[in-house]
Amino acid sequence: MPRSYLQEARKRVGPKKERIGPIIERLAAEHADAAIALRFRSPLELLVSVMLSAQTTDVNVNRVTQKLFEKYHKPEDYLAVPQEELERDIFATGFYRQKAKALRGTMRMLIEEYDGEVPRRLEELIRLPGVARKTANVVAAELGDPEGIVVDTHVRRLSQRLRLTRQEDPVKIERDLVRLVPREDWARFPHLMIWHGRRVCDARRPRCEVCPLAVDLCPSTRV
């Protein structure tokens, strides 16, 4: 995109600190149903679902966990079967050996250090085997105590298009976003960005003509 166009667009839309409120408001109105796509009934099922979602789709995870959660109800259940059996049960999610190992390690730590309960604090969640910052952020947010902002591919791409960040690294992008997004919106902001990215702001063919952010809030729009 030519520098002259970018400079003109930035002047048109205004500073990001002034835009973030209206961006969230319009996306919330446009995607009132925006929420996590994973299906779960408990904090443990949430944690397992998010751990299994790496490198696969939420639809695929939901298909697998529909049967998985009928068999495994508590941390002890994941340790009561041979690892090979757990691997077969989650095979369809991909990377099943690593995921099974991480799940068993996490369940063991939950039993030994957290009385079988899923911790809610980010610093505790990231200690669990196979739980990186993104996974921990998702779990903490869904359990009602977000300590950061989830940055997935959609959040990264849209944040860059909206010029909310110039960073490429997810950790640095999150750092920019937590300074910008009001804390009360930390949990819903990623969902709004994800659903908008799926429905409207496609990576290759963004539908700017129907985007509620076009013209006055998005410096990348071509409308």
Give the residue numbers marked as catalytic: 134, 152
**How far apart, in whole angstroms, are the C-alpha atoms of residue 146 and residue 177?**
13
CA dihedral 122, 123, 128, 131 (to 10 degrees): 50
